[in-house]
Each structure stands twice: as C-alpha cells, then as structure tokens.
Amino acid sequence: MIDIFDTRTMLEAVEQMKRPRRFLRDLCFPPAAPADTETVDIDIIKGKRRLAPFVSPLSEGKRVEDIGFSTNTIKPGYIKPFKITTAQQLLNRQPGQTIYQGGQSIEDRAQIKLGEDLAELMDMIDRREEWMAAKAMDTGAITMKIKAETGDKTVTVDFLMASSHKVTLAGNDLWSDTVNSDPLTKLRSLAQLISQDSGLSPDTLILGTDAATAFLNHPKVKDMLNFRRADMGEINVRELPNGVSYLGQLRAPSLFLDVYTYDEWFIDEDTSTEGPMVPVKKAWMCCSRCACKTLYAVIQDMEAIEGGQAAVTRFPKSWIPKNPAVRHLMVQSAPLPALLQPDCFVSVQVLA
C-alpha cells in the first residue's frame, strides 16, 4: 500500500500538481534549474551596441572583448511554511461535506486533507515568488525580512536598475491631466530608453488599477488600442491568470505593446493589510524576452540531502512527533526571481 505521506510520494505529487499560473513570474522569470548550493550567482547583464571593427584582409582579426557583467553571490530567502493536522480534524465533518460521509473513510479524509494542505502551502510559496517578482520589476530590488530564532534581519538584493528606469511623473505629465499630458509620447521615449540600454524592444505594458483607468479614459489613447490579437486567438483571454485583463495591443509609431492590467493582491505580513501586486498608480514596461530567471538554491534539509532530493524547487515533508501526536506538513523552497537584465524594465508612477 502506498504511503501518501512518504516524501518521495509527496514530491512526485507536487511535481505533477497543476498550479495556477502566476502572471509576472511566468511572463519574465521562467524557472532555472535548481542549484545544489545554498547560494546562487546573479550575473547582471548590461547590453552594448557595438560595431564590428574594419581591418585589412591581410592583417589579423581584431579581438572583441566579452560584454561585461557583474556577478553577485546571493543566499536566497528560505521559505518553509507548515500546517498541522489533528486527529479531531479527520474525525469531524470538513467544510462542504454533509453530515453523512457517504462511506468516506478516515484514510480517504486524510488523503483529501493532505491534497488541500499541499495546495495551500504551494499557493503561499507561489504568491511569495510573485511578490518578489513584482518588487524586482517595480524598484529593481527585493527586500526580504528574514525571521530567525537569533533575531530578525533585513536583506536587500539590489539588481542595479538605473535611476533613469524608475520614473515619477509630475505636473502636466500626469495622466490625470487629460489636456496637457501625452501618455503615448512618454511611453515612446521610455520604450526607446529600454531599447537603447538593453538592445531589446519592449513588448508589454502592465498597468495598476488606477493607472489603467486613467490610460483607457485618456483622449489621446482611446483610439490606439487594438483588440484583434485576442479576437484572432493569438492571446487566449480565458487562459490568463487570475486578476489579469488584456486591454489590447497599443499600436502607435515606434510602439507595439500588449497592454494588461493586473488586479492581484497579497496580505502584508507586518500590517495584516491587503496590498496590490502592481501599485495602483504605476505602469511597468518590459520586454518579456529578457534574460531574467527564477533561481532556486538548495533545500537545506537532511532528509532532502540524504535522499538526493535537495536540488528541487519545492520539497514537501511530513512527520508526527510523539507528543502531541499531530501531523506536520511542510513545504520548503529557496526561490529568487532575479532581474538579470534590469535595463529591460521601466517603472513609472503616472498618477499623483
């Protein structure tokens, strides 16, 4: 009989589990192969538009130096949420069940509870990864508050996004000024900035809730959005992640951007208040073809190491202490959405 709480069984279930898509992470931070070390190397790439040198056909070729990049070795924040299941929870009626169990055994309920708890823990880790991706895209850095028995500490991973890529509009440039502001001209200049600094053309514009409203209502924008890509099936709006709405393709001189709004939220762990993944008054422009990745450090768990399962993106484990005899279920991960090509991103506050 298969032990559903065996680590290998749960790990296989986790790997096969179909997870809800995460918009920012899936768009710009595809997963890299997990490392077998507790640190990961972050190579910040700065593009250069170099010309091949002219030489005489009779002389030797001219050596071209590699494009430089800066490397930082980072220890990603470690994540290990867990849940506890008591015997009473398996004996009592679960939410949504009738008082008549329909022949459902305690073992059946234990298996269902395991699946629900695994899904919840995985969702928490997925949401944390999405939060990290959002912070990287917004500020060019991720600040993590690490909780430990010896005291909490704050660690910031700075991806060296240039200040010119973090813009705050003011006065007549604010999108709320529908008479004097010109969102298309501003977006065009920012697209040129990304193209010049990174060598890649931006293809995506992500708007916070208020920014999207101002953008759609602006008289200089209204007639510039084209929904044909969705109508023709190139973008399946039904398959977009929760909270994502496709507003159309912005087609203007020197601008070809798929425009989205993203209404996703998280609970701030310090204040217990909800906050938006994308600040409501901001717009992010990016190139989805950038070289960014979600990096994963090794799982620092003896069971994972001894079982040869430490280089994974998620590691589930379960155990029952003698007293009190309750089941613990934990999922561990060490992710870092890395902004390896920061010049591919621009963050703009468009409303006061």
- Worst-scoring range by mean pLDDT, 5-9, 97-101, 147-151, 273-277? 97-101
Position 58 scores a pLDDT of: 62
Task: Note whether residue 214 is domain-resident.
Answer: yes
In whole numbers, what is the pLDDT of the chain averaged over residues? 87
Pair 323, 226 in one domain: no
Cross-strand pairs, 275: 266
Task: Note whether residue 348 is domain-resident.
Answer: no
Pair 300, 287 in one domain: no
- Provide the token pair at 313: 């993106």
Pair 170, 201 in one domain: yes
| Confidence grade of residue 270 (pLDDT, cut at 50, 70, 90) | confident
Pair 151, 218 in one domain: no
Q: Assess contact for 191 and 202: CB atoms under 8 A.
A: yes
- Provide the token pair at 285: 């422009």
In this model, does residue 300 exceed pLDDT 90? yes
Position 241 scores a pLDDT of: 84
Task: Note whether residue 88 is domain-resident.
Answer: yes
Please state the separation of Cα 101 from the chain's center in Å. 40
- Provide the token pair at 225: 């959005």
**Residues recorded for the chain:** 352
CA distance 318 to 5: 6
Task: Note whether residue 53 is domain-resident.
Answer: no
pLDDT top residue among 283 and 57: 283
Per-residue DSSP letter, 38 = S
DSSP per position, 306-331:
HTT--SSS-EEEEE--SSS--EEEEE
Q: What is the average per-residue pLDDT within 81-109?
A: 73
pLDDT top residue among 222 and 145: 145
Taking residue 98's Cβ as centre, other Cβ atoms within 10 Å add up to: 7
Cross-strand pairs, 276: 265
Position 73 scores a pLDDT of: 85
Place of tokens 């973008």: 235
Q: What is the average per-residue pLDDT within 334-347?
A: 96
Pair 276, 136 in one domain: no
Pair 230, 314 in one domain: no
Position 200 scores a pLDDT of: 94
Pair 195, 91 in one domain: no
pLDDT top residue among 99 and 148: 148
CA distance 251 to 253: 7
Query: Which among 235, 260, 291 is the end of a domain?
Result: 291
The number of folded domains in the chain is 2
Pair 74, 149 in one domain: yes
Pair 235, 218 in one domain: yes
CATH number of the domain residue 131 falls in: 3.15.30.10
Position 202 scores a pLDDT of: 97
Give the range with max mean pLDDT: 20-24, 44-48, 77-81: 77-81
Q: What is the average per-residue pLDDT within 73-91?
A: 88
Per-residue DSSP letter, 275 = E
CA distance 236 to 242: 13
CATH number of the domain residue 266 falls in: 3.30.1930.10
Q: What is the average per-residue pLDDT within 253-262?
A: 92
Task: Note whether residue 218 is domain-resident.
Answer: yes
Q: What is the tens place of the pLDDT at every residue in 52-73?
A: 665 556 665 555 555 445 567 8
Q: What is the tens place of the pLDDT at every residue in 175-208?
A: 999 999 999 999 999 999 999 999 999 999 999 9
Give the range with max mean pLDDT: 131-135, 217-221, 232-236, 323-327: 131-135
Pair 142, 164 in one domain: no
Question: In angstroms, what is the C-alpha Rg of the chain?
Answer: 24
Position 62 scores a pLDDT of: 52
Domain carrying residue 215:
159-291
Task: Note whether residue 344 is domain-resident.
Answer: no
Pair 274, 315 in one domain: no
Q: What is the tens place of the pLDDT at every residue in 109-132?
A: 888 888 889 999 999 999 999 999
Q: What is the tens place of the pLDDT at every residue in 163-176?
A: 999 999 999 999 99
Position 68 scores a pLDDT of: 47
Position 51 scores a pLDDT of: 61
Q: What is the tens place of the pLDDT at every residue in 221-243?
A: 987 888 766 656 566 766 788 88
Task: Note whether residue 55 is domain-resident.
Answer: no
Task: Note whether residue 206 is domain-resident.
Answer: yes
pLDDT top residue among 103 and 309: 309
Cross-strand pairs, 315: 332
- Asked whether the CA dihedral 147, 148, 152, 158 is positive or negative, the reply is negative
Assign 191 to helix, strand or coil: helix
Pair 201, 143 in one domain: no
Position 169 scores a pLDDT of: 98
Q: What is the tens place of the pLDDT at every residue in 21-42?
A: 789 999 999 999 999 999 998 8
- Worst-scoring range by mean pLDDT, 31-45, 88-102, 194-208, 283-297? 88-102
Position 52 scores a pLDDT of: 64
Phi, psi of 131 (to 5 degrees): -60, -45
Place of tokens 């090509």: 341
